[in-house]
Amino acid sequence: MADHKSNAEAYWSANLRLILGSLVIWALCSYGFGIILRPMLSGIMIGGADLGFFFAQQGSIYVFIALIFFYRWKMNKLDKEFGLEE
């Protein structure tokens, strides 16, 4: 019973680290690159607009979609590691 509880705590801890890391990356790309660091990124052009504008308009959405697939892939690996696969 204690082994099952420690296994569940380790699984939940790994899941929370993954969620927190994903949220930090998304916040950095959407809020950081799109708003705070936009003046620093204004000299880098992508698709006819500066990189800060790109992140504010489209880049953060692309990062969010990539993070969805990354989270799914990592959770499948985590599920297999802890014997919880479907």
Q: pLDDT tens digits, residue range 22-68?
A: 999 999 998 998 889 888 988 899 888 888 888 888 889 999 999 99
- DSSP for the chain, please give it: -HHHHHHHHHHHHHHHHHHHHHHHHHHIIIIIIIIISHHHHTTSEETTEEHHHHIIIIIHHHHHHHHHHHHHHHHHHHHHHTT---
In a domain, 34, yes or no: yes
Domain residues for the domain of 52 are: 19-81
- Mean pLDDT, residues 66-75: 96
pTM value is: 0.82
Instruction: Report the chain's terminal Cα–Cα distance, integer Å.
Output: 22
Tokens representing 60? 């953060």
Q: Look at the chain and report how many structural domains it folds into.
A: 1
pLDDT band per the 50, 70, 90 thresholds, residue 73: very high
pLDDT confidence of residue 68: 97
6 falls within a domain: no
